[in-house]
């Protein structure tokens, strides 16, 4: 079985390698951490954190780097995983959402190491794929010690694909607990000064994806052509840093004056002109933009990309809008829509009409914002439930 899995991985690596090479050259991705991925050497740490992407690695290092070791998740070849478990000697392995790999769980079982899936979920697309490979998924998931699922629906999906029912518990989504309910975000005032954001209304489009910015710019052009919305400004914050230059060109092509936040972030200078459009081309500043917004659009949802996290926007007490393709956040979408804590638009025209309503009807906008924040409050608490379950496996020796 191990040989077959390794062979499949080799075939996948051969087929995928042109994509890796293209991204490395074009977007400067996958250029770091190869020696760490292959796990040649390790030292002992109480907690170690692994990631699978350059962006994730940079973010984890920024947040946890001072206290914990951050490294790239090793490739799931049998000889690499065998060495990783020998070197790290973990007491427990926590996997986020659904990142379960066959050789990984095999060697965890062989080493008598509990494997717990935290914040577990299976998307519609992944579930369909697992159902087609149910025999293989059953072999993999029966070796997982415990699944801590976000919802009852996700719990049933894990059971359907082969996880023993007694090994699945619903704890809720951890992301509700990471969404900070606050009216003030550190650094937001500085950002406002740097970009000369004062009393005008700011529409923030966060974590946007390909094909979406053009739609947003068209809606913005339509809005600002009307006198009542002349004071509106648009801040676009693409999700992926390799798209910053591409989006800058899109804004130029449409004809809007704009500034890039990267030109001001690390200086004492202030943007002298109130340009109609701001490009948020830095990492880690999205919440600052959100906190200054009059209205928030959460991206990767007008195009079929699965959506982005809308909890932060709702937790900040902002009227929150997203498109119809937020299937990666279905539980949150359902909760927000049920309690009228956000608005889902189906297309460009619907987005335009919704923006007009929220900008002209302040009572409606405030109601959406208040309801959204309440939804976040109501669903918090998953962290403590998760810690309680993990603690059962970490009793003193």
Q: 362-378 vs 330-338: helix axis angle to the nearest 10?
A: 130
- Please, are residues 195 and 261 in contact by the beta-carbon 8 Å criterion? yes
pLDDT of residue 395: 66
pLDDT of residue 43: 42
Return the half-sphere exposure (C-beta side, CA atoms, 13 A cut-off) of residue 51: 20
Question: Which tokens belong to 100?
Answer: 């379960």
In angstroms, the CA 265 to CA 248 distance is 17
With b for 16 or more beta-carbon neighbours within 10 A and e for fewer, the 188-215 pattern comes to beebbebbbbeeeebbbbbbbbbebbeb
pLDDT of residue 89: 87
pLDDT of residue 357: 98
CB atoms within 10 A of CB 114: 18
List the beta bridge partners of residue 238.
Answer: 208
In angstroms, the CA 107 to CA 109 distance is 5
Question: Which tokens belong to 47?
Answer: 């907690």
| Backbone φ, ψ for residue 320 (5° rounding) | -115, 130
pLDDT of residue 2: 62
DSSP designation for 165: G
pLDDT of residue 19: 44
List domains and CATH numbers for the chain: 2-178+382-391 (3.40.50.11720), 188-378 (3.40.50.2000)
DSSP secondary structure string, 229-249? GTT-EEEEEESSGGGHHHHHH
In angstroms, the CA 66 to CA 32 distance is 19
| Backbone φ, ψ for residue 148 (5° rounding) | -105, 95
3-state secondary structure of 295: strand
pLDDT of residue 51: 87
DSSP designation for 187: T
Give me the count of residues in the chain.
397
Question: Which tokens belong to 11?
Answer: 């075939």
pTM value surpassing 0.85: no
Question: Where would I find the H helices in the chain?
Answer: 2-27, 34-37, 54-64, 78-88, 102-110, 124-132, 134-141, 152-160, 174-178, 188-194, 213-224, 244-254, 286-292, 311-315, 330-338, 348-360, 362-378, 382-391
For the chain, 397 residues long, the average pLDDT of each consecutive 10-residue run is: 57 47 46 48 61 83 84 87 89 88 92 94 90 90 95 95 96 92 94 94 98 98 97 97 97 96 89 91 96 98 95 97 93 95 98 98 98 96 91 73
Which residues make Cβ contacts (< 8 Å) with residue 349, sequence separation at least 6? Answer: none
In angstroms, the CA 365 to CA 359 distance is 7
DSSP designation for 340: T
């Amino acid at each position: 079985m191990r040989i077959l899995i390794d062979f499949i991985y080799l075939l996948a690596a051969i087929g995928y390698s042109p994509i890796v090479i293209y991204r490395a050259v074009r977007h400067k991705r996958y250029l770091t951490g190869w020696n760490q991925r292959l796990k040649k050497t390790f030292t002992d740490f109480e907690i170690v954190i692994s990631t699978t992407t350059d962006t994730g690695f940079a973010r984890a290092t920024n947040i946890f780097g001072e206290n914990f070791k951050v490294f790239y998740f090793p490739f799931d070849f049998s000889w690499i995983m065998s060495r990783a478990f020998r070197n790290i000697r973990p007491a427990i392995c926590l996997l986020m959402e659904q990142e379960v790999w066959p050789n990984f769980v095999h060697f965890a079982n062989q080493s008598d190491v509990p494997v717990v899936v935290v914040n577990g979920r299976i998307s519609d697309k992944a579930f369909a794929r697992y159902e087609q490979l149910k025999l293989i998924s059953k072999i993999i998931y029966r070796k997982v010690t415990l699944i801590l699922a976000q919802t009852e629906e996700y719990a049933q999906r894990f059971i359907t694909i082969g996880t023993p029912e007694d090994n699945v518990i619903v704890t809720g989504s951890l992301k509700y607990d990471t969404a900070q309910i606050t009216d003030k975000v550190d650094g937001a005032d500085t950002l406002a000064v740097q970009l000369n954001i004062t009393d005008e209304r700011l529409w923030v489009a966060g974590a946007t994806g390909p094909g979406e910015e053009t739609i947003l710019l068209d809606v913005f052009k339509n809005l600002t052509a009307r006198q009542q919305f002349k004071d509106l400004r648009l801040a676009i914050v693409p999700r992926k840093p390799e798209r910053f230059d591409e989006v800058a060109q899109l804004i130029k092509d449409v004809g809007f004056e704009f500034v890039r936040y990267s030109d001001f972030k690390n200086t004492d200078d202030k943007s002298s002109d109130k340009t109609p459009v701001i490009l948020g081309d830095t990492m880690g500043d999205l919440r600052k933009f959100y906190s200054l917004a009059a209205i928030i659009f959460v991206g990767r949802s007008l195009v079929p990309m699965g959506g982005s996290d809308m909890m932060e926007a709702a937790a900040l007490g902002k009227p929150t809008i997203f498109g119809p393709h937020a299937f990666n956040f279905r539980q949150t979408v359902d909760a927000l829509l049920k309690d009228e804590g956000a608005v889902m638009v189906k297309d460009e025209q619907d987005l335009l009409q919704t923006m007009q309503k929220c900008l002209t009807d302040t009572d409606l906008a405030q109601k959406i914002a208040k309801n959204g924040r309440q939804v976040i409050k109501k669903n918090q608490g998953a962290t403590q439930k998760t810690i309680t379950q993990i603690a059962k496996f970490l009793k003193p020796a």
